[in-house]
Amino acid sequence: MPSNTTVYKNEVFANTLENASRFPSNVTIPIDLPVTEGWLELYKLVRTILFSFLICAGLFGNSFIMATLARWREMRTPCNLLIANICAADLGVCIFAAPLRIVETFRGWIFGDVLCHVLTPIQDVLVVVSVVTQTVIALERHRAIVAPFKPKMTQKRVKIAMAVIWLGCYLTAGLPMMIFLENKLSSSGYYICIPDFPNDDYKRSYQMHLVVVFIALPLGIQSIAYFDIIRVLRAKDNSFHSHSVQRKTIKGRIRQKKRLVRMLLVLMLAFQVCYLPRGVIMLLSEFAPEIILENETEFRYVSLITLVMYYLKHVINPFILWAMSKDFRSSFLSFCPAYNARLTFAQSSRYQSAVPRQGEKKKLGRSIVQRKDSPVD
């Protein structure tokens, strides 16, 4: 056997399979895979660079969305408040979960038994809050567009819904994980914080619960809701053929709602692309481990790629909002002093051009104010 190869015990590889089957937020690195030392060092370097980038981008993007809604009261629509809830959860992932992945890359779990039972469930709660809130947004948009005469989602109801989401996610994802977590010493000399289930059947049931409830079911609900929304908006758009001012106004509002739905569809697509591969890995490692055992080398790369894609979901949402929402773009630019100075100068120029010259009797019919696109309810 080559001298540069370190072979670990077979039971350690079983630990790796167990790690891969865990919910993506707290999957430890496969440090126990039978790999060459050179590949392991490269793996650590690549993983550290990727997660460092995700942390920086996630902190910047999600903080920007939170600051925008804190500054502009008129943007605090029910939909935007739910988006802020997603950003808050994603921000928590970037602050807590991603840095822990970097630490575990080199030292394993070094935070002791107590934090093993506290931090790891929090990571799962943050993840599922983001997923469930995105599903609630789809249902809220479905209510607003398909059934507009039903009671509206007020800010008070949104805040109650967010509290229920956090509590429900803790009870269904965080608490079960907390009960079975153990801080174990692996054969490689590192501690790993993983759940110790009573038997394999219980473990499989729990993994199916995570994949079905927090990946498959949300995707199904969102897909059905947005499909119905698109159908209704197309029907409304095709029903207006007159050129009257009132109907033009209604069609304008429909186009505005379409833009919002288009943005939410992109967010859902990002969710699917980033989450589904990790869900497949979880199911394969639990129900078909022989496939992974037969393809050890490929599994290392696939596991890393799917893990990075999973975390990418918690980073790209703010950038999608910036790219597709004129309101969020304008709000972002409003934080730049140069943009504010140019906007003030432009407004002043328009005002001066609208003031009647000396001797003219014409009066201003209306004041010149800054135009602001109000968010869609």
Assess if residue 90 is contained within a domain. yes
**Structure-model confidence comparison of residues 238 and 242, the more confident one:** 238
pLDDT given at position 81: 92
CATH at residue 339: 1.20.1070.10
State what percent of residues in the chain have pLDDT above 70: 74
From the list 182, 218, 212, the residue with the least C-alpha distance to 18 is 182
| Dihedral-angle region of residue 112 (phi above 0 means left; psi in -120 to 50 means alpha; beta otherwise) | left
From the list 208, 333, 343, the residue with the least C-alpha distance to 283 is 208
Q: SS3 for 93? A: helix
pLDDT above 80 (res 297): no
pLDDT above 80 (res 19): no
pLDDT in tens, 172-223: 888 888 888 888 887 777 888 888 888 888 888 888 888 888 888 998 999 9
pLDDT given at position 241: 55
Assess if residue 87 is contained within a domain. yes
Instruction: Output the six-digit token pair for 2.
Output: 């080559």
pLDDT given at position 56: 92
Assess if residue 88 is contained within a domain. yes
DSSP 26: G
pLDDT above 90 (res 293): no
pLDDT above 60 (res 256): yes
Classify the C-alpha dihedral 155-156-159-160 as positive or negative.
Answer: negative
* Domain count within the chain: 1
- Output the CA–CA distances (angstroms, integers) from residue 185 to 89, 297, 304, in the order listed: 30, 24, 22
**Structure-model confidence comparison of residues 160 and 351, the more confident one:** 160
From the list 229, 295, 296, the residue with the least C-alpha distance to 262 is 229
**Which letter, b or e, does each residue of 34-55 get, where b requires 16 or more Cβ atoms within 10 Å of its Cβ?**
ebeeeebeebeeebeebbeebb
Assess if residue 373 is contained within a domain. no
Assess if residue 1 is contained within a domain. no
pLDDT band at 341, cuts 50/70/90? low
Assess if residue 102 is contained within a domain. yes
pLDDT in tens, 93-123: 888 888 888 888 788 888 888 888 888 888 8
What's the rounded mean pLDDT across residues 352-373? 40
Q: Structure pTM? A: 0.76
Q: SS3 for 287? A: helix
- Tell me what the pLDDT averaged over the chain comes to: 75
Which domain range does residue 283 map to? 10-354
Assess if residue 376 is contained within a domain. no
Assess if residue 372 is contained within a domain. no
